[in-house]
């Protein structure tokens, strides 16, 4: 039982790290048409995430790989039930990567406009769809005991699912705006800091509504009622979100970015803790729930994987910390010309 519990929370941690790291990439891309008033602005926005975005997506691959290796039936049922949104996310991510590479290949305004649109689509669509997907997982997916999905793509666009999509989108936009506030100067910096304040004002009521709606649309609060100490995660989310506003007002943009990162991680764990031990709940019948205990790999497999994680995950984290440290601070003149 202990191995399954460890892997459940490792699974949640990997998703949280992915949302925290790639979240600001998605946010920058979503804000791209709003803040990119000139070619210099667009180049600054792209270059601010240039050294990081592909490395950040390693965590998506890791989270998917862990799902496949540690909880194989969850992987199978999840990717068959949520095939359309997950495939759209994949196509959007591919489109974004291609856009970053192709945009500067030809000096043509029309050519660049096409790839500018692709950057926006490749950032905003995954952000919104990840929110819809996880909100529906929190709510439950209509699949039976054989893992067969009884629904369609429109069923995922329920009010709670769309609310989750909007929450993720706004979280990532705020995270991206805080990142740009750290990395830019001049007129773009002034505009992005003003926009951060506005995004925060939209995000707060959406977050409150999502928390309230979760009490009616999901069973996430059951674990919090049984273990009141877990409420600390919700408290951390609230404090972190308020801290973003506080640090923005003090023009401490790195701290504001760290606060928005903590907000994303704690919001993710709000759902992970609420789900435990269920990884993929069925909306049809609780007997069909896929949990950490009825759908895990063998103890030997989990033990070997844990050894691999203990060795390699710190190496990946260390490498990323080195990368962030190497490219810290405002964009240099050389980086702007690239």
Q: What digits encode the pLDDT tens for the residues 71-119?
A: 999 999 998 999 999 999 999 999 999 998 898 888 888 899 999 999 9
Model confidence band, residue 51 (pLDDT cutoffs 50, 70, 90): confident
Task: For 232-256, write each residue's pLDDT tens digit.
Answer: 999 999 999 999 999 999 999 999 9
pLDDT of residue 104: 82
Longest alpha-carbon distance in the chain:
61
Q: What is the mean pLDDT of residues 173-200?
A: 93
- Read off the tokens for 224: 């919090």
Contact predicate 185/210, CB 8 Å: no
| Cα–Cα dist 308/311, whole Å | 5
pLDDT of residue 109: 86
More confident residue, 136 or 317: 136
Q: Is the pLDDT of residue 336 over 60?
A: no
More confident residue, 326 or 60: 60
Concatenating the DSSP letter of every residue in 175-195 gives: HHHHHHHHH--HHHHHHHHHH
- What does the radius of gyration of the chain's CA atoms come to, in whole angstroms? 20
pLDDT of residue 310: 87
Look at residues 77, 66, 76, 73 and name the one whose alpha carbon lies nearest to residue 304: 66
Residue with tokens 């830019």: 184
pLDDT of residue 270: 95
Model confidence band, residue 5 (pLDDT cutoffs 50, 70, 90): very high
pLDDT of residue 145: 87
Q: Is the pLDDT of residue 218 over 80?
A: yes
Q: Residue 241: in which H helix or E strand, if any? A: helix 231-249
Look at residues 336, 264, 298 and name the one whose alpha carbon lies nearest to residue 43: 336
């Amino acid at each position: 039982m202990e191995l399954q519990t460890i892997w459940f929370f490792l699974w949640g941690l990997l998703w949280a790290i992915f949302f925290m790291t790639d979240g600001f990439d998605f946010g920058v891309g979503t804000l791209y048409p709003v803040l990119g008033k000139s070619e210099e602005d667009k180049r600054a926005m792209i270059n601010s995430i240039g050294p990081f975005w592909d490395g950040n997506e390693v965590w998506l691959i890791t989270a998917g790989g862990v799902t496949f290796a540690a909880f194989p039936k969850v992987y199978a049922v999840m990717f068959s039930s949520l095939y359309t949104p997950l495939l759209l996310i994949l196509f959007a991510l591919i489109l974004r990567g291609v856009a970053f590479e192709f945009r500067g290949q030809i000096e043509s305004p029309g050519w660049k406009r096409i790839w500018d649109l692709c950057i926006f689509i490749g950032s905003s669509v995954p952000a919104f769809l990840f929110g819809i997907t996880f909100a529906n997982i929190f709510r439950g997916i209509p699949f039976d005991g054989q893992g067969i999905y009884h629904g369609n793509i429109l069923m995922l666009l329920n009010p709670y699912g769309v609310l989750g999509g909007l929450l993720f989108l706004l979280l990532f936009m705020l995270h991206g705006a805080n990142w740009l506030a750290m990395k830019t100067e001049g007129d773009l910096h002034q505009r992005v800091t003003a926009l951060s304040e506005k995004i925060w004002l939209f995000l707060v009521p959406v977050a409150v509504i999502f928390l309230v709606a979760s009490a009616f649309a999901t069973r996430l609060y059951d674990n919090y009622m049984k273990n009141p100490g877990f409420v600390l995660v919700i408290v951390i989310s609230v404090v972190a979100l308020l801290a973003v506003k506080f640090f923005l007002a003090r023009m401490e943009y790195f701290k504001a970015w760290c606060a928005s990162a903590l907000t994303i991680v704690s919001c993710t764990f709000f759902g992970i803790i609420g789900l435990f031990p269920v990884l993929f709940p069925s909306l049809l019948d609780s007997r069909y729930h896929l949990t950490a205990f009825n759908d895990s790999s063998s103890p030997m497999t989990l033990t070997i994987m844990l050894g691999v994680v203990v060795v390699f995950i710190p190496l990946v984290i260390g490498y990323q910390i080195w990368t962030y440290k190497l490219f810290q601070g405002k964009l240099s003149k050389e980086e702007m010309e690239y």
